[in-house]
Amino acid sequence: MNAQPKVAIVGATGAVGVEIQKCLEERQFPLSGLKLLASARSAGKKVEYAGRVLEVEELRPESFRGVDIALFSAGGNVSREYAPVAAGEGCVVVDNSSAFRQEEDVPLVVPEINGEAALHHPRNIIANPNCTTIITLMALYPLHIKFGLRMIIASSYQAVSGSGQHGIAELEQQVRAIVNGDPVVCSTYPRQIAFNVLPQIDCFTDTGYTKEELKMLNEGRKIMNLPELSVSCTCVRVPVYRSHSISCVAQFERPVDVEVARACYAGMPGIALMDQPARGEWPTPLDATNGDTCYVGRIRKDLAIPNALSLWVVGDQVRKGAALNAVQIAELLIR
């Protein structure tokens, strides 16, 4: 891989695409050129990057000639159509959709956990995991090293920005309508999201779990290389603009100790301990928003399950849950 690659962002005008640009610039990613790709309706838009003005181009099959790394964030249909095209041009694709995550010859990577997997990509495609999975595993991986992870029982509290700009707009519109006494209109979500919580994200499967909930199971096993890992998850949409939170019970192979568990986070990249409940210090979505760090707190021995810890973790799902993770994978490729 070229030490100063030419990079393309597919879905450059979307929320994650814009965040990818910020991450590249803030981290001073050593690119030799940046190509911004989007749909025809966004083509021609002007974007400022590192003091330069770039023009968004329409995504076409020939867009990837001469590109070394393509960061995709335009949805599964676009990825399924264009990622193989880009890979065929010799470009390494880092894909943020779920299109390739469970394919055996496509690595699924969280750099702090299994970064070495990114170096073996026979199809020139690397998958970015689901945002909730990333944030949860960032908190559990340091504990896994010490105690050996066996089972996860989790409930997520996922922000409306996980639905894109439409989710944010709907929350704002509904809050305004309720305050003004106007009728509440639902379009993005099946039920009112303002001052409410919705226990459904993505569509239901025959198991009674949603596709979002099964991602924690399937992706967790692959990322952690734990094929027997047991996972039960309930994903809930909450009226928060940005950053996801997860309440988690994790059972381990070996006996656990709370103080030892807290010490596991010392020096671990991307995750920080915020756990002084007597002083009112525990993580909230606002603590993580617009930042690169996930925060973990409320660590305690579970009262019902042996060798288990209960904990609370938050992270910015647009940053670490999507854009930042993709950029970190690209950094591994040039390193």
**Given this structure, which CATH class describes domain 6-128+322-334?**
alpha beta
- For 113-152, b/e burial (b = at least 16 CB within 10 A) is bbbebbeebebbbbbbbbbbbbbbbbbbbbbbeebebbbb
Contact 272, 259 (CB under 8 A): no
- Take residue 251 and report the two structure tokens written for it: 């059972």
Tokens of 256: 């656990």
pLDDT number for residue 3: 78
Q: Which two tokens stand for residue 57?
A: 């181009």
- Among 6, 123, 11, 17, smallest CA distance to 67 is for 6
Give the whole-angstrom CA distance, residue 242 versus residue 139.
19
Catalytic annotation present for 131: yes
Q: Which amino acid is at 323?
A: A
- Reported as type and span, the H/E element at residue 309 is strand 308-315
Query: Looking at residue 127, what is its pLDDT?
Result: 98
* DSSP string for 24-36: HHHTT---SEEEE
Give the angle subtended at the CA of 98 by the CAs of 286 and 193, to the nearest 5°: 40
Q: Which pLDDT score is estimated for 165?
A: 87
pLDDT of residue 335: 81
| Marked catalytic residue, from 23, 91, 131, 233 | 131
Each domain of the chain, given as residue ranges in start order, spans 6-128+322-334, 133-317
Q: Alpha-carbon distance 266 to 290, whole Å?
A: 22
| Stated pTM of the model | 0.95
The predicted structure's pLDDT at residue 80 = 96
Fill in the amino acid letter for 40: A
Burial of 8 (0-12, 13-18, 19+ CB in 10 A): buried
The C-alpha angle with vertex 191 and arms to 287 and 285, in degrees rounded to 5, equals 5
Q: Which of 91, 144, 233, 244 is catalytic?
A: 244
Domain 133-317 falls under CATH 3.10.180.10: no
Question: Could you read off the pLDDT tens digit of each residue along the chain, which spans 335 residues?
Answer: 777 999 999 999 998 999 999 999 999 999 999 999 999 999 999 999 988 999 999 999 999 999 999 999 999 999 999 999 999 999 999 999 999 999 999 999 999 999 999 999 999 999 999 999 999 999 999 999 999 999 999 999 999 999 988 999 999 999 999 999 999 999 999 999 999 999 999 999 999 999 999 999 999 999 999 999 999 999 999 999 999 999 999 999 999 999 999 999 999 999 999 999 999 999 999 999 999 999 999 999 999 999 999 999 999 999 999 999 999 999 999 98
121 is catalytic: no
Torsion of CA 68, 71, 75, 201, to 10 degrees: 150
pLDDT of 2 reads: 76
Q: Backbone phi, then psi, for 174, in 5-degree steps?
A: -70, -40
Amino acid present at 38: A
What is the spatial distance between Cα 290 and Cα 292, in angstroms, rounded to a whole number?
Answer: 7
CA atoms within 13 A on the CB side of 194: 17
Q: Which residues contact 238 (CB under 8 A, 6 or more apart)?
A: 157, 158, 159, 160, 197, 245
- In angstroms and rounded to an integer, the radius of gyration of the C-alpha atoms of the chain is 20
The secondary structure element, H or E, covering residue 311 is: strand 308-315
